[in-house]
Homo-oligomer: A and B are copies of this chain.
Amino acid sequence: MSGQENARALGVGLIGTGFMGKCHALAWNSVRAVFGDVPPVRLVHLGEANAALASQRAAEFGFAKASGDWRAVISDPDVDIVSITTPNQFHPEMALAALQAGKHVWCEKPMAPAFDDAKAMTAAAKQSGKVAALGYNYIQGPAIRHIRQLLAEKIIGDVNHLRIEMDEDFMADPDALFYWKHAATSGYGALDDFAVHPLSLLWALFGRVSRVMCDMSKPYAERRTQDGGMKAVETYDSASVLLHMENGVAGTLQVNRSAWGRKGRIALQIFGSKGSILFDQERANEFQLYVTADRPTEQGYRTILTAPHHDPYGRFIPAPGHGLGFNDLKIIECHELIKRINGETAHLIGFEDGLEIERTVHAMARSFNEQRWVDVR
């Protein structure tokens, strides 16, 4: 790698080293090896609240500098882009600071607990002229990207109905103690934690939601506290939403973070005039297609394993059916991000589209509170 190449290298700052922080770090480490067609990546500066941890993670993740103050990352002149992977409530301040410092921003979703903050972030991004992208990685899977293509070529005709569910069980244990996610200060519940993910898929495949009618429920009305008492749970682990898309299609969206047995389910059912498509993130390396073009006596859902001809699977593995993993989605997202920085067309959810997703979530909550259909815009 010559000095000239270094001149063109992309300087990366990373704030946060938890689940998503590590995921970003892995993506930055691998994106050039996987795709080849990107400039060198320099891991410049890592920020983490605890300075010692920052140093340790910097060494592990391959970052040159470490800091216990995230502002040091943002103000580092060698940093071109900042990965923000801290808890959601810190996103607004960090993203605004990074944009103001003239950095590109790659921020984990959702943008912010408060919609006004998300609006401010979007405005700042627009004003900055910098790339401001969100970490909606599920839209990057080869299966989902191929489904998007199939829908565009109308392989199942005109879509007329859709259902999407996202379920996990990390809140399902009734004996787990009351903690901050059970308090109203943390937001609505599953609606915040999950709904943005299926909405990102709906965005990628169909566009925007126009109307919503939402119900929410609590599996456990109260939970034990550490001192042995009981406390009323204020958030809703489950939300069920009737919805209409702007394109006229009706469907449903359901999320549940207390669904025992579900680990990373994001199940999609898409019905059209000439067939249907099924997908489940728990088996993300396959999807199912039913087409009426097949002879009637042999019509059935095809289980299609992802393969090199499902872009960009082939950049990872030249053989079909071998499978990508969750972390690979972030590498693809990182590649799209670099394409956008380079001014190329990219499949990525920026702050503007992300704002619409969050607007939809807030509309759902309002619908539940007011017990009526609500227009998103």
Residues of A within 8 A of B (CB): 1, 5, 18-19, 22-23, 25-26, 29-30, 32-34, 36, 40, 56, 58-62, 64, 146, 150, 155-157, 160-161, 163, 165, 168, 170, 172-174, 213, 215, 217, 219-220, 238, 240, 242, 250-252, 254, 256, 258-265, 271-276, 278, 282-286, 288-292, 294, 296-305, 307, 309-310, 316-328, 371-373
- Tell which of B1, B32, B304, B316 touches A325, judged by Cβ atoms closer than 8 Å: B316
Using A215-B242, A260-B271 as known contacts, say yes or no to A373 and B371 having CB atoms under 8 A apart.
Answer: yes
Which residues of chain B come closer than 8 Å to A252, judged between CB atoms? 240, 252, 254
- Tell which of B219, B264, B320 touches A323, judged by Cβ atoms closer than 8 Å: B264
Which residues of chain B come closer than 8 Å to A289, judged between CB atoms? 298, 300
A19 touching B219, Cβ below 8 Å: no
Q: In the assembly, what is the distance between CA of A191 and CA of B48, in Å?
A: 52
19 contacts between A and B (CB under 8 A): A19-B319, A150-B298, A174-B273, A213-B213, A213-B215, A213-B242, A261-B271, A261-B278, A262-B321, A263-B305, A263-B319, A264-B322, A265-B321, A282-B305, A282-B321, A285-B325, A302-B302, A316-B325, A322-B326
Q: In the assembly, what is the distance between CA of A25 and CA of B316, in Å?
A: 11
Chain A facing B: main interface SS: mixed
Q: In the assembly, what is the distance between CA of A165 and CA of B294, in Å?
A: 25
B33 touching A26, Cβ below 8 Å: yes
Which B residue's beta carbon lies closest to that of A163?
Answer: B254
